[in-house]
Structure formats: structure tokens, C-alpha cells
């Protein structure tokens, strides 16, 4: 398996004194398109890092805990933690990343709140992070442009990415403004439904709730969703529930607690549904995650 081979790799690395953009210090910005089986070396974070999956699939391992990587997934790495990325052999990854810190001293109240979020947020992954990709591409483009305005735009795009990450991880539901809203109302509806499910995954009574929220029949919403995404509304909701279940199991929650948080009537109903969808019981998957974490810890000691 190749450890460090890439199809292409744009990687800009800076020291603390070189790249200060307003309230932020830029350490690293990059775009990596992986060869099949590519993996980074496990390393400890000295700064905050944001990773966005442009395409492909793989595994993002944080402090020994593995998370699946898919298109439009967003990952947050905190200082002092360790992480490693492994690309799929059959569906290689391409991902963007931004390593940064806050310029000291932090005096602005809003920047202080952002810093507190990055210092304390324990969630590692959020799926379907719409809107981040375009800003990353604009940010990367400015390093190629590199004219007298690039510094201003780099600061603005960094600010946008960092603020968007805060909103996405805090599950802030916000609607996108579309210039051609009347002509794109169906597409906007689908995006809003995706946001609504992701934000309210644990509190939804069921998919029929979408009718009350958006003012359309369930059939209409389901048809538009399938037409735009190629996936049924029920399949998407089910996938997100079990992705969230896996996250909680890896974080150490009990099977009973996960079933409760995701709205299953009983632990038995959750276990049956989980095994049918994932292929193993939640207890088995939890044990695997714990074993992987223990093995990773043992390797560090050795």
C-alpha cells in the first residue's frame, strides 16, 4: 500500500511569522488527490485543521478512532490530537485542508467565541457540508493569483470557512440565498430538506414532519428529493441515522443511550434495524471500535 503517493498535491506550508491574515495565522493549505491506498503518517496536531472531502472515500482516524470519509464530509481536528487519513483502494480520495491558529492576543468577542468552539468541540465529522467546497476553491485560487489583493481575499475566505465550520458543527440551520430562486425552487427545497434532516435528526418524529415544515405533501417532497439526488428520501434518512449511531458508538456511548438518542422505541428495535442495515450488531461494532482504539494506544506506547 502506498503511504505517500499522490496524483497531484498542492501544499503550501508556512511558519507562524510568515502568514498572518487578520485574526488568523495560516500554517498550511492544500489540495490532495490520492493514489489508491494512499495514507498519511499519523501525526499530532500543533494547530487546528479543517478537512473537506471533495470526492472519493476513505478513513479518517482521530486519536485511534476511525471515521468513514465520503464526498462532502467535513472533519475538524483539534490541537494536540492525532490523526491519519487512509484513501480507499477502489475510490481514491481528493480532499482540501486548512491548518490555522488564532493570532494572539485574541480580543474580539466573536473571535474569542470561535476560538472557544475550536478548543472544546468534540464532534469530529459532519456530513453533507454544502457550501464549503466553493470557498475552499476560491481560497486555493488566491495562492495561484498572488497579486496585491490576494491577502485581503485570503483573509475573507479563511473567515468564511472558519465561520461556516462553526455553524455546521453547531447544527445551525440556515437557508441559502439563490439568485434564481423561482427557477430553482425544487433544488432549494431539496437542499433545505437535507439541512433540516441533518440538523433535526435526533428530534424528528418521522419523515412526515417534513410536510408540516415545508408546506408540501410528503409524496411531492420525496419525488423531488429522489429526482435531484438519485436516492430515496427514506434511504437518506436511514443512512444518516446509522451514520450518527456509528459516531456515538465510537465516542463510547452505550447501545441503550444511542437507541434512545436516535428515537428508537427499544434497544431491541434499534439492534435489529442496525444489524439489518450495517451487517453486524451495534455491540459488535462498538467492540471493534474499542479494540481498534486500544490497539492504536498500545502501538503508541511501544
What pLDDT score does 265 carry? 87
pTM of the predicted model, to two decimals?
A: 0.60
The verdict on residue 117 lying in a domain is yes
The verdict on residue 174 lying in a domain is no
Domain boundary pick from 169, 200, 233: 169
The verdict on residue 129 lying in a domain is yes
Q: Are 132 and 225 in the same domain? A: no
The verdict on residue 236 lying in a domain is yes
Task: Cell numbers for 242, please give them.
Answer: 446509522
Say whether pLDDT at 50 is over 80: yes
Q: Are 70 and 126 in the same domain? A: yes
Task: Give the residue ranges of DSSP H helices in the chain.
Answer: 109-120, 132-145, 150-169, 185-199, 209-214, 218-229, 233-250, 255-261, 267-278, 282-301
Q: Are 261 and 163 in the same domain? A: no
Task: Cell numbers for 180, please give them.
Answer: 434564481
Confidence grade of residue 182 (pLDDT, cut at 50, 70, 90):
very low
The verdict on residue 156 lying in a domain is yes
Q: Are 70 and 117 in the same domain? A: yes
Query: 200: domain CATH number?
Result: 1.10.10.60
The verdict on residue 299 lying in a domain is no
What pLDDT score does 103 carry? 92
Query: 19: domain CATH number?
Result: 2.60.120.10
Mean pLDDT of 31-57: 90
Q: Are 157 and 189 in the same domain? A: no
What pLDDT score does 200 carry? 85
Q: Are 44 and 155 in the same domain? A: yes
What pLDDT score does 296 carry? 59
Q: Are 117 and 200 in the same domain? A: no
Terminal-to-terminal C-alpha distance of the chain: 23
> Which of 14-23, 127-136, 208-217 has the lowest average pLDDT?
14-23
Q: Are 35 and 161 in the same domain? A: yes
Q: Are 159 and 191 in the same domain? A: no
Q: Are 158 and 11 in the same domain? A: yes
What pLDDT score does 110 carry? 94
Distance CA 47, CA 101 (A): 6
DSSP state of 105: S
- Total domains in the chain come to 2
Q: Are 50 and 148 in the same domain? A: yes
pLDDT in tens, 263-302: 888 999 999 999 988 888 999 888 887 777 676 555 554 5
Say whether pLDDT at 173 is over 50: no
Domain boundary pick from 169, 204, 224: 169
Backbone angles phi, psi at 24, to 5 degrees: -120, 150
The verdict on residue 176 lying in a domain is no
Find the domain containing 199 and state its range. 185-289
Confidence grade of residue 74 (pLDDT, cut at 50, 70, 90):
very high
Q: Are 131 and 251 in the same domain? A: no
The verdict on residue 180 lying in a domain is no
Alpha-carbon separation of residue 182 from 9, 186, 188, 209, 212 (angstroms): 40, 9, 10, 24, 21
Domain boundary pick from 169, 194, 216: 169
Say whether pLDDT at 124 is over 50: yes
Confidence grade of residue 6 (pLDDT, cut at 50, 70, 90):
low
Amino acid at each position: 500500500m502506498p503511504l505517500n503517493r499522490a496524483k497531484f498535491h498542492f501544499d503550501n506550508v508556512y511558519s507562524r511569522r510568515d502568514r498572518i491574515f487578520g485574526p488568523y495565522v495560516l500554517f498550511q493549505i492544500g489540495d490532495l488527490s490520492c493514489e489508491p491506498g494512499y495514507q498519511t503518517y499519523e501525526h499530532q496536531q500543533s494547530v487546528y485543521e479543517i478537512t473537506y472531502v471533495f470526492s472519493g472515500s476513505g478513513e479518517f482516524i482521530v486519536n485511534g478512532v476511525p471515521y468513514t470519509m465520503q464526498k462532502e464530509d467535513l472533519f475538524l481536528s483539534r490541537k494536540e490530537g492525532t490523526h491519519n487519513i487512509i484513501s480507499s483502494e477502489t475510490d481514491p480520495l481528493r480532499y482540501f485542508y486548512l491548518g490555522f491558529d488564532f493570532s494572539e492576543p485574541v480580543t474580539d468577542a466573536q473571535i474569542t467565541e470561535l476560538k472557544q468552539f475550536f478548543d472544546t468541540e468534540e464532534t469530529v465529522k459532519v456530513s453533507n457540508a454544502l457550501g464549503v467546497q466553493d470557498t475552499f476553491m476560491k481560497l486555493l485560487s488566491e495562492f495561484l493569483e498572488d497579486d496585491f489583493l490576494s491577502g485581503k481575499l485570503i483573509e475573507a475566505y479563511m473567515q468564511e470557512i472558519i465561520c461556516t465550520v462553526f455553524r455546521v458543527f453547531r447544527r445551525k440551520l440556515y437557508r441559502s440565498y439563490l439568485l434564481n430562486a423561482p427557477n430553482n425552487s425544487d433544488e432549494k427545497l431539496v437542499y433545505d430538506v437535507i439541512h433540516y434532516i441533518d440538523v433535526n435528526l435526533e428530534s424528528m418524529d418521522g419523515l412526515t414532519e417534513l410536510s408540516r415544515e415545508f408546506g408540501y405533501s410528503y409524496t411531492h417532497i420525496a419525488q423531488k428529493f429522489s429526482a435531484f439526488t438519485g436516492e430515496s428520501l427514506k434511504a437518506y434518512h436511514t443512512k444518516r441515522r446509522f451514520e450518527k449511531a456509528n459516531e456515538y458508538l465510537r465516542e463510547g456511548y452505550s447501545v441503550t443511550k444511542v437507541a434512545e438518542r436516535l428515537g428508537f422505541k427499544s434497544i431491541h428495535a434499534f439492534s435489529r434495524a442496525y444489524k439489518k442495515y450495517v451487517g453486524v450488531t451495534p455491540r459488535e461494532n462498538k467492540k471493534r471500535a474499542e479494540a481498534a482504539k486500544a490497539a492504536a494506544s498500545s502501538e503508541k506506547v511501544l
